[in-house]
Amino acid sequence: MTRPPDLFDRTLLDQRRARAARGPASATFLHEAAAAQVSERLNEVNKSFQDCAVIGPKAALWADELRSVPSVGTVATLSDTDLLDLEEGSLDLIVHGLALHWANDPVGQLVQMRRALRPDGLALAVLFGGQTLSELRRAMAEAETLCEGGLSPRVAPMGELRDLGGLLQRAGLALPVADSDTLTVSYQSALHLMQDLRAMGETNVMAARRKQFLRRTTLASAVEIYGRHFAEPGGSGRVIATFELVFLTGWAPSADQPQPLRPGSATARLADALGTVEQSGGEKAGG
């Protein structure tokens, strides 16, 4: 079977991450926020995780955060390469830390995680969702259309919550749950946002990206459009940027997990639980 072309340029992604790693520590604030939320979620799980691993470009940062959770034991770190360095059936918890949105095969990454988990082990992935950088996407599209008469992929696409949740089932994970949290960040200008994205290693690495540098007139127009449409309330002169964090949670299948009941096997009536009178199919409720 022919493999589809890669959506992202992995070599360029590694280069830009390496460049970002030499930048200021403040560029890790999204990883810090996401890792803190994962820690909070793990604190609510009534289960111990003895052998754990974190995947991603800032895995060490995530590991430090997870080690503060009493139920978490040893935490290994590894890169989000196409082939993950995971031993089958060796772990109780695997966290994919804010990198799955750059995977050319996200289902493949989740499948590898499931195989590395022991029965009833937990897989938890955090990635950017479809609302991320919606303001920048709109401003760039409008500016490029105005100045150059066409569009090119300037901001990488992000999956929608419903579609991303389906990845868990495709990967064979049990009890799948997908939810999201939106962070609104304030910047002095759209240029400062772009500089921060560069420092994060989160700039566009699409294989089909336009290879030429962005024209100065197009950039200036995008900055102006951004400031006009997405100003921070209150007249501060600053702009806002949206980052949607999607949390994907699934468990390695186990015979001890809760199973859905067979249709028709209920032992109690819904009407009794709600304290109402059950209506037959051909009657209308009410008077």
What does the pLDDT average to over 46-50?
A: 95
Tell me how far apart the alpha carbons of residues 150 and 243 are, in angstroms, rounded to a whole number. Answer: 26
102 within some domain: yes
Q: Which of 20, 41, 184, 183 is nearest to 102 (CA)?
A: 20
Q: Could you tell me the two tokens for 75? A: 């935490």
Grade residue 121 by pLDDT with cuts at 50, 70 and 90: very high
Provide, rounded to the nearest whole percent, the portion of the chain with pLDDT above 90: 72
What does the pLDDT average to over 164-185?
A: 96
Cβ atoms within 10 Å, residue 261: 9
Q: Which of 199, 159, 158, 164 is nearest to 30 (CA)?
A: 199
State which H helix or E strand residue 33 sits in: helix 29-43
What does the pLDDT average to over 56-73?
A: 97
Q: Find all residues with CB under 8 Å of 248, minimum gap 6, and list them.
A: 100, 110, 123, 124, 125, 126, 127, 164, 165, 167, 168, 176, 177, 178
Tell me how far apart the alpha carbons of residues 268 and 40 are, in angstroms, rounded to a whole number. Answer: 35
What does the pLDDT average to over 68-78?
A: 97
* pLDDT value, residue 268: 61
Measured CA distances, 210 to 21, 95, 151, 199, 223 (Å): 25, 33, 10, 21, 19
Contact 58, 81 (CB under 8 A): no
Q: 267 exposed, middle or buried (CB, 10 Å; 0-12, 13-18, 19+)? A: exposed
Tell me how far apart the alpha carbons of residues 163 and 158 are, in angstroms, rounded to a whole number. Answer: 10
Q: For the whole model, what pTM was predicted?
A: 0.86
Is residue 199 predicted with pLDDT exceeding 80? Answer: yes
Please give the tally of structural domains in the chain: 1
Contact 77, 103 (CB under 8 A): no
What does the pLDDT average to over 64-84?
A: 97
What does the pLDDT average to over 174-198?
A: 96
262 within some domain: no
Q: Which residue has the higher pLDDT, 281 or 205?
A: 205
* pLDDT value, residue 70: 97
* pLDDT value, residue 27: 85
273 within some domain: no
Starting from the edge strand earliest in sequence, which strands make up the sheet with 239-251, in order? Answer: 72-78, 49-55, 91-97, 117-128, 239-251, 174-187
193 within some domain: yes
Q: Crossing angle of helices 134-148/190-200, nearest 10°?
A: 110
Virtual CA dihedral for 259, 261, 266, 271, nearest 10 degrees? 80
1 within some domain: no
What does the pLDDT average to over 104-121?
A: 97
Contact 43, 93 (CB under 8 A): no
269 within some domain: no
- Report the chain's mean pLDDT, rounded to a whole number: 89
* pLDDT value, residue 210: 74
Grade residue 209 by pLDDT with cuts at 50, 70 and 90: confident
* pLDDT value, residue 259: 66
5 within some domain: no
Q: Which domain does 192 fall in, by range?
A: 10-257
Is residue 257 predicted with pLDDT exceeding 90? Answer: no
Tell me how far apart the alpha carbons of residues 252 and 235 are, in angstroms, rounded to a whole number. Answer: 50
Q: Could you tell me the two tokens for 31? A: 């990883």
Q: Which residue has the higher pLDDT, 235 or 271?
A: 235
Grade residue 247 by pLDDT with cuts at 50, 70 and 90: very high
* pLDDT value, residue 285: 45
Is residue 283 predicted with pLDDT exceeding 50? Answer: no
278 within some domain: no
Find where tokens 């109402």 sit.
276
For residue 145, the domain's CATH number is 3.40.50.150
The β-bridge relationship of strands 49-55 and 91-97 is parallel
